[in-house]
Amino acid sequence: MTYNFDEPVDRQGTSCVKYDSRKDVFGTDSVIPMWVADMDFKSPPFVIEALRQRLDHEILGYTIRREEYFSSLRKWVERRHSWEINEDWISFSPGIVPALNICTLAYTDRGDGIIIQPPVYFPFYNAVTDHGRRLVYNQLIENDGKWEIDFGKLKKKASEGARMLFLCNPHNPVGRSWTKHEMETIAGICADNNILIISDEIHSDLVLPPYRHTPLACLSPDIADITLTCMAPSKTFNLAGLSTSSMIISNPELKKKFDSIIESLHISGGNIFGTEASIAAYTHGDEWLDSMLDYININVEYVVKELQETKLIRPVPPEATYMIWLDCREMGMDTGELNKFFIYKAGVGMSKGTVFGPGGEGFMRMNIACPLDTLKRAIDNIKNALLKL
């Protein structure tokens, strides 16, 4: 079956964050929205069909998560990521951000240090500070446009008493898919210092060929023992509004603690539609996902080529995710000026690099999960605005 990712879909007036919050976020509705991480593509037809079938039953009472919820995820990670897991390692979470917060509560105490590697997805910060824990930064380093982990500094920070590390794997916003060697080094440092790793792998299905995702926990049983893995169909199949994700936790003690918080907050039930969508996506999603990734690759190539020509914006080609990290430092503007330039001169609404913390100064993050025509309009707007500088 062929899927049409060129189809424009009018999302305005559907209570969608990306379009309907533009005025609040950018001060104007007149921007092409290329910020929050969802896609302008329709969710896959087999997911919509599964939801329709469930809706046809017309009773939406209390629900349980049936066996296929667990088996479809188990088979998916085996097929897509060569990781064999047991179904009883899977825990439900209503989202990955809630899961990060639950991990903070479950495994750390007030005042404890949690390592993050900025520039990084901004809710990582709140998942630490909102609970009175201490942020420990191991800032990524940039080597000629490639973002890497500063292992020397990580070793030092880890030895200073941190309890946990949030790993963004693949990394949003810099688009890195960490290599086995990089992950083994991180895990070795954490193991030596009794640090738990929360590996946020929400973007794992969005690794762009020829790169391949390796789940951290599949590297060895010892690594699995100190790792909790976050997985979800939400980014992959554009289902974020269904609030359904999973944790894979092979260490029974850690799993028990995670589940006890989910139970105590009475959020383990989830919702009927999230369960049905997750099962349909993980059961039937391979072909759709492969076509979608091909489409994203075309968009990546387009943006990289067009923006490189400007000499003022240096796009960082992503190894994963549908985000492109744009180095705008040659434009010589501070964050406020850059933001205003893109909103008011180019009419494009992107995420400011600084929302991702230290290292984000002079950068913007562009979400390219949209029809190529939309992307072309945005890039034309940016190029025309640059000519007038």
Ligand X SMILES: Cc1ncc(COP(=O)(O)O)c(C=O)c1O
φ/ψ (deg, to 5) at 96: -80, -35
Q: Which 85-114 residues touch ligand X, going by CB under 6 A?
A: 95-97
Per the CB < 8 A criterion, the answer to whether 211 and 180 are in contact is: no
Contact pick of 200, 276, 319, 327 for ligand X (by CB under 6 A): 200
Does residue number 37 form part of the binding site for ligand X (CB under 6 A)? yes
Could you tell me the smallest distance in angstroms from the CB atom of residue 113 to ligand X? 20
Contact pick of 240, 248, 368, 382 for ligand X (by CB under 6 A): 240
* Token output for 67: 């066996």
Q: Which 63-82 residues touch ligand X, going by CB under 6 A?
A: none
Q: Which 160-179 residues touch ligand X, going by CB under 6 A?
A: 168, 172
Could you tell me the smallest distance in angstroms from the CB atom of residue 91 to ligand X? 14
Could you tell me the smallest distance in angstroms from the CB atom of residue 347 to ligand X? 23
Could you tell me the smallest distance in angstroms from the CB atom of residue 330 to ligand X? 27
Angle value at C-alpha 22, between 201 and 356, nearest 5 degrees: 40
Residue owning tokens 């190029």? 383
Q: Which residue is nearest to ligand X (CB)?
A: 95
- What distance in Å separates the CA atoms of residue 179 and residue 176, rounded to the nearest whole number? 9
Percent helix, strand, coil in the chain, to 5, is: 45, 15, 40
Does residue number 121 form part of the binding site for ligand X (CB under 6 A)? yes
Could you tell me the smallest distance in angstroms from the CB atom of residue 235 to ligand X? 6
Is the CB of 201 or the CB of 276 nearer to ligand X? 201
Sheet with 363-367: list strands edge to edge: 314-316, 323-327, 363-367, 351-352
Contact string (CB under 6 A) for ligand X, positions 360-379, x = contact: --------------------
Per the CB < 8 A criterion, the answer to whether 124 and 174 are in contact is: no
Mapping DSSP to helix (H, G, I), strand (E, B) and coil, where does residue 205 land? Answer: helix
Per the CB < 8 A criterion, the answer to whether 242 and 48 are in contact is: no
Binding site for ligand X (CB under 6 A): 37, 95-97, 121, 168, 172, 200, 202, 232, 234, 240, 245
